[in-house]
Amino acid sequence: METSDRELLQAFLGSKSEEAFRQLVGRHLPMVLGTARRMLANEQAAEEVAQNTFALLARKARSLTPEQSLGGWLHRAARNECLHVQRAEGRRRQREETAATMNAIDESETPPELLGDLEEALEELAPDEHDALVLRYLEDRKLHEVGAELGVSADAARMRVNRALDRLRAIFEQRGISVSAGALTAALAGQAAVSVPAGMSAAIATTVLTQSTAAAATAGGGTVTAWLTLKSAAVVTGVVAVTSAGLIWYQQDREPETPAAAQTAIAAATPAVAPASTPTTAQPAGSVTGAGNSSPGEQPVNAAIPTAGTEEPPTPEAKRLVDDAWGLIERRQFEDAIERLNAAIELSPRFPDAYLFRGNAHEGAEKLQEALADHKKAAELRPTYKQAWFEQSRIYDRLEQYDLAIRAATKAIEIDPEFWQAWLGRGRANYYLNLNRQALPDLDRAIELNPRFPDAYHHRALTHLRLYQFDEAIEDRRKAAEVAPDDYVQHYRICPDLP
């Protein structure tokens, strides 16, 4: 007897069974991929959605209740992922491609408008009706299997499926699409015959399990983005501050207002062996270098960066308070640091460094919205303050607002095309938005500028995996292990069973 979804899920959660997860991927991938193909009309985007859907399952599996149907849950998750892609890439182009792609998806006489509206119509059904149709037709399950997954008898499952078909027909009628019961049944059944590329199921399972391993390794330090977890962040020519979120690093290419204590910290944090790339000097206020002339992975923002802000020189007392606050941040005394920085800002309300440091203190205290507001204020006062734009990008990344993370990182790159941290940040955000073709050149550039930071290799390896470029993924894994063997093996292990 075939192991049920619930049993496989329990094995994955209880004993971390990778084999159980691989079976779940193999069982449900045709339905998930078919859903993405119908909605996106783009094969590469559909495959990326399929992978992200199973990545979401790995993260959210514990939130599923015993009464929920896994097939129904995955269908909804895949649809939500597709909607996200449609918003990112624009509905107009998706609709223009739909008619041509429908021919490749289904060569039957099914009306294209029926398939085009199928996912939205299914979403209007009651949850038990939705799950019954997904299991019976999109996953091609027998009625007794549908009943087993839904916790009812085969006869009850048949009645639920028939009721759901009648309801679905009525929904299409309301949309002006007349379809007989036989045609609707045939259309649904035809969606189960989905061809899955060879090796795709194994590749998705490997990638998702790899990401889960990395997430579990960093979970002990609280919510933290991958670039904040490595001790090897000390290779950055800058300050490494310990916060409740892990390691926060940022380059100290600040203007002369930087406090004396921070300058001392910079020297203390700089490693004995300099990184391969030469540290850059912050450009003078008013000089903006466009990233579009020669930089790869160009993603220009809509508005040009202003060349002049409203920054004013700080008072000596404000500088002293910021100096004190930096020491408190290093000692993880974030609330005390915020108090000092509030006083500094009261004395010098147009002092960008005070806002930037207070943003770092707010982040350490897990007040991300306050941190974001401070970094925005620092950039407003000094529009060419690349660090302020970069810090915004990091916070947006932590908030999973990747579109905005890309915009902020792009502005940092426009100010300083040699700012490798911003290239890495933008590459990560592109990766999380499934924009793998944009992520690769960004990560390439980050590695070119600083070949000694393993997280860039890690994310480039994951991007190669998504594109089924296994040789390149393995090579990046080896490079990351060479750069920081202890940290990489602990945090970013690529599974050894890559194809």
| pLDDT classification of 74: cutoffs 50, 70, 90 | very high
- Answer for the pair 321, 356: CB distance below 8 angstroms, yes or no: no
pLDDT at 426 over 90: yes
- Helices (H) then strands (E): counts for the chain: 23, 2
| pLDDT classification of 378: cutoffs 50, 70, 90 | very high
- In the block, tokens 């905005």 appear at 404
Rounded to 10 degrees, the C-alpha dihedral 93/94/100/102 comes to -170
What does the pLDDT look like over 213-265, one tens digit per residue? 555 544 433 322 232 222 223 223 333 333 333 323 333 333 333 333 333 33
CA gap 283, 300 in Å, rounded = 19
What does the pLDDT look like over 278-308, one tens digit per residue? 333 333 333 333 333 333 344 444 344 445 5
- Answer for the pair 114, 179: CB distance below 8 angstroms, yes or no: yes
CA distances from 468 to 49, 188, 210, 476, 492 (A): 14, 30, 15, 14, 19
- 439-448 mean pLDDT: 94
- 83-106 mean pLDDT: 53
Position 300 scores a pLDDT of 43
pLDDT at 367 over 80: yes
CA gap 206, 18 in Å, rounded = 9
User: Taking phi first (over 0 means left), then psi (-120 to 50 degrees means alpha), and beta for anything else, what does residue 279 get?
Assistant: beta
| pLDDT classification of 276: cutoffs 50, 70, 90 | very low
DSSP SS3 for 347: helix
pLDDT at 60 over 60: yes
Position 348 scores a pLDDT of 93
Structural domains in the chain, sorted by start: 5-197 (no CATH), 221-491 (1.25.40.10)
Q: What is the DSSP string of 419-483?
A: -HHHHHHHHHHHHHTT-HHHHHHHHHHHHHH-TT-HHHHHHHHHHHHHTT-HHHHHHHHHHHHHH
Mean pLDDT of the chain: 74
Position 359 scores a pLDDT of 95
Position 486 scores a pLDDT of 61
pLDDT at 12 over 70: yes
CA gap 66, 190 in Å, rounded = 29
Position 395 scores a pLDDT of 94
- 46-72 mean pLDDT: 86
pLDDT at 334 over 80: yes
Position 1 scores a pLDDT of 63
- 121-128 mean pLDDT: 85
CA gap 129, 162 in Å, rounded = 9
